[in-house]
Structure 1
Amino acid sequence: MSSRMAGSVLLRRAGAGASRLFATTPSPAARAVLGGGEGAWVRLMSTSAASQVKDEAAKAVKAEAAKAVKAEAAKGDGEKKEVAISSYWGIEQSKKLVREDGTEWKWSCFRPWETYTADTSIDLTKHHVPNTMLDKIAYYTVKSLRFPTDIFFQRRYGCRAMMLETVAAVPGMVGGMLLHLRSLRRFEQSGGWIRALLEEAENERMHLMTFMEVAQPRWYERALVIAVQGVFFNAYFFGYLISPKFAHRVVGYLEEEAVHSYTEFLKDLDDGKIDNVPAPAIAIDYWRLPANATLKDVVTVVRADEAHHRDVNHFASDVYYQGMQLKATPAPIGYH
């Protein structure tokens, strides 16, 4: 017998054995072992299949349970981590704030109780006539600063407003800081002027945050802000140390110029030279403006704020001119 024939015989025998092994009908030997005939064989196969299904179902249930436990554990770990950080430092995250209409408050930079309605009825035409030599120096110093600003920005009042606010927010911070240090050195109260000046600085900063939504500064305008702020901060710092009454008078005149600039801004809005776009959301919430407020409404309330800052700084300078310290006169806190 050749090797090819021998291989064919072996394959046929292996196939027959496999058929007997995996056949659904039991062989006579299997019937003898089971002792129950074909019925017993069928029952055995059915029981085996049911057991297999039950095992698979149990495995699926266990897998789902394990997944749920793992998810709960991860959630619990996250909560424990947050609680641990909060309890360790004793600081709790404030709950979500809502507006008066029940909608969610989305600003973290200021809270609902820090908002207000601007007093736009303030007299915009008030002007402190410079009589003393110090006042004249302050007045003409501010006037000289307006000239290069007009050349650089011309009538681009959106960018001009941003530039103005980056400078206008400096004096309140410097004055409040120096009064704070003075209060610490001399163990004395400030009459509320520290808070009033810092409140002014924050209000000016919110003006900047608002106009950032209206006009995006170019790279060279950002560079100019860095340079101007660096020079102005140091100049005002040393000026306030030397003569607070001169420093406050300078700011009073700066705010007068700001009122004038925003008035020109409004004229261009009325004439259609600048698009009266919808007011930024941050402005609507900060000044409690109506939902359909426009850029004109924003400029109007900002101008009112600048007029109030004008009054506060001229008033502070007058206090010094009368030979008194600011602490002797209650500060106009909340007078935006």
Structure 2
Amino acid sequence: MQANHPTPNTLDVHHDVDGVSDRVALAITLTLRFFADTFFARRYGNRAIVLETVAAVPGMVGGMLVHLRCLRWMVADEGWIRTLLDEAENERMHLMTFIQIAQPSWFERVVILLVQAIFFVAYFVLYLISARTAHRLVGYFEEQAVISYTLYLAEIDAGRVENVAAPAFAIAYWNLPADARLRDVVVAVRADEVGHRDVNHRFANALTTGETVSQNA
């Protein structure tokens, strides 16, 4: 997978709140951001692990529920299933990368298990109640992820985080140079999050208007 390189303009994109659904999604996002800031502070590698174990859930849940809906109603998925499953796989690769880099403690691994279990159930229920809110929530999550990875890059550039060698499987996955470092990985991951942000906001918009989503948009 070849990494994209977002411009500063694309990094700062924020979807304006419009209606109760968006307000709920943004409130949940900011609440979770508060707990992440409180618990992890500037330990961005460890923060990334918890972030990615949560981020890998929505694509799988959404893909499964869209798949089942298409089976029930015998309709086309318009490319949603593959897009969502690809997103889940991509986020899982983020998680595996940062586990190798940050080496979480046993306590953090327990936190990861609990957070993932709780979030899976909550997101599953939310998607059943309002798929639009669920996709908007992920869009806002990804906005925060872009911010977090930008701050992570700032820590690396300032020398406060060691710019260690990139794991071999990360180099292969993102098609990075053989001598790639942590900074290269974070740039690639941030680019992925920009893409997920835009796709999920686009899906939420499509569910609001009833329009077909172009997978090439």
Q: TM-score, normalised by structure 2?
A: 0.96
* Match of residue 329 from structure 1: 213
* Match of residue 143 from structure 1: 30
1:155 to 27, 37, 42: 42
In the alignment, the residues of structure 2 paired with residue 265 and residue 329 of structure 1 have an alpha-carbon distance, to the nearest angstrom, of: 32
How far has the Cα of 1:238 moved from its partner?
A: 0.8
For the residue of structure 2 that corresponds to 1:289, the secondary structure is coil
* Match of residue 259 from structure 1: 146
Query: Residue deviations 1:76-126, cap 9 Å, x none?
Result: xxxxxxxxxxxxxxxxxxxxxxxxxxxxxxxxxxxxxxxx21111351111
* Match of residue 117 from structure 1: 2
User: How do 1:1-336 and structure 2 match up within 5 A?
Assistant: 116-122=1-7, 123-324=10-211, 328-332=212-216
> Amino acid of the residue matched to residue 278 of structure 1?
A
In the alignment, the residues of structure 2 paired with residue 231 and residue 210 of structure 1 have an alpha-carbon distance, to the nearest angstrom, of: 23
In the alignment, the residues of structure 2 paired with residue 290 and residue 150 of structure 1 have an alpha-carbon distance, to the nearest angstrom, of: 32
Identity of aligned residues (%): 55
How far has the Cα of 1:330 moved from its partner?
A: 3.7
In the alignment, the residues of structure 1 paired with residue 205 and residue 91 of structure 2 have an alpha-carbon distance, to the nearest angstrom, of: 22
Q: Which has the higher contact order (CA 8 A, sep 6+)?
A: 2
How far has the Cα of 1:277 moved from its partner?
A: 0.8
* Match of residue 35 from structure 1: none
In the alignment, the residues of structure 2 paired with residue 161 and residue 329 of structure 1 have an alpha-carbon distance, to the nearest angstrom, of: 29
Verify the 8 A CA contact 2:203 2:213 in the aligned structure 1: no
In the alignment, the residues of structure 1 paired with residue 99 and residue 21 of structure 2 have an alpha-carbon distance, to the nearest angstrom, of: 35
Verify the 8 A CA contact 2:11 2:194 in the aligned structure 1: yes
- The change in CA–CA distance for 1:146 and 1:121 in structure 2 (over 3 A counts) is closer
In the alignment, the residues of structure 2 paired with residue 257 and residue 329 of structure 1 have an alpha-carbon distance, to the nearest angstrom, of: 24
**Structure 1: where are the runs of 5+ without partners?**
1-115
> Amino acid of the residue matched to residue 331 of structure 1?
Q
Query: Residue deviations 1:296-325, cap 9 Å, x none?
Result: 00000100100100000000000011134x
Greater Rg by CA = 1
Number of aligned positions between the proteins: 215
Spell out structure 1 runs of 4+ moving beyond 2 A.
328-332
Verify the 8 A CA contact 1:193 1:330 in the aligned structure 2: no
